[in-house]
Amino acid sequence: MGPIQIFSCFLNGATLALYHGSPLGRGFCKFVQDARVSVLGSVPSLVKSWKAGNLTKGLDWTKIRVLATTGEASDIDDNLWLSSRTCYKPIVECCGGTELASSYIQGRLLQPQAFGAFSGPSMSTGFVILDEQGNPYPDDLPCSGEVGLFPLYFGATNRLLNADHDKVYFDGMPIYRGRQLRRHGDIIQRTVGGYYIVQGRADDTMNLGGIKTSSVEIERVCNGADEGLLETAAVSIKPSGGGPEQLAILAVLKDGSTTCDANLLKSKFQRAIQKNLNPLFKVSYVKIVPEFPRTASNKLLRRVLRDQLKQELANRSKL
């Protein structure tokens, strides 16, 4: 968030409004009203919490001119709800990383809004979408694959602390127009209308019955399977004895409890996935948890969930 604060805020003569405390409560939502915030940045999981608790009820957010979101893949219904709090102001999606000094892809206010989608590359950046063989798709073709960044852009890093910069970002990446592409790790989709949807990290991609899919795709479907759900996390588990990957879904309820019939949720998840995603995908395991592990910037740590679940299932098999 440093580049956004310094370049987008201070160098443009704007005032930065900082809240002391958790942004999950109504106190933060009231602060947005009282401070007369005109540009509000958020994270999808925060919006989900505000929506679940109806924390903006009775508050006036009409001073907001534009919204922004980053950190995670957005939920279209949650974005619609957030925009409705501000008399339907646009939401600018932003995706990048610290090593990018900001973002490589974002939304624009110069074209119609598409919730949960990006407009194109950020200023000075460029990218291609790679197929499974590492070949770039044509720029005008609807497709889905791992993103490959052009290596030169404003703020590009050339070293990495405590790791090999070239190995992390460049090894194994294809050559495009005479330059080696830079690895970022996102899977993105280009739609028929020319918008882009980030489908999660490449290491969150799973192979279910020979078909590759992302955790984000499954979570978007499962989040709407039951009204009591706050959010879900989808991970794949490889059986200790070998065999195909198995789909596990972890769920957090709106009331924060764990008292819910996991088998009933499993049936609802299965129906939702078969109807809206792929009839061949099978839900093997469902667990209800009070909360998900997250980074300091509130990103969901699916890797931690995957490791915890593997350990739990391994202990269960020993018994």
Q: What pLDDT does residue 235 have? A: 92
pTM: 0.75
Please state whether 159 falls in left (phi above 0), alpha (psi between -120 and 50) or beta. beta
Which CATH code of 3.30.360.10, 3.30.300.30, 2.60.120.260, 3.10.20.30 fits the domain covering 209-317?
3.30.300.30
Residue among 133, 97, 105 at smallest CA distance from 295 = 97
pLDDT at 222: 94
For 203-218, the pLDDT digits (tens) are: 778 878 667 788 888 9
Length of the chain counted residue by residue: 319
What's the pLDDT score for residue 98? 66
Contacts made by residues 34-38, CB under 8 angstroms, sequence distance 24+: 36/63, 37/63, 37/64, 38/63, 38/64, 38/65, 38/66
CB 89 within 8 A of CB 64: yes
Beta bridge partners of 105: 95, 121
pLDDT recorded at residue 319: 56
**pLDDT lower than 70: segments of the chain:** 1-3, 98-99, 101, 209-210, 240-242, 258, 297, 317-319
C-alpha 228/C-alpha 221 separation (Å) is: 14
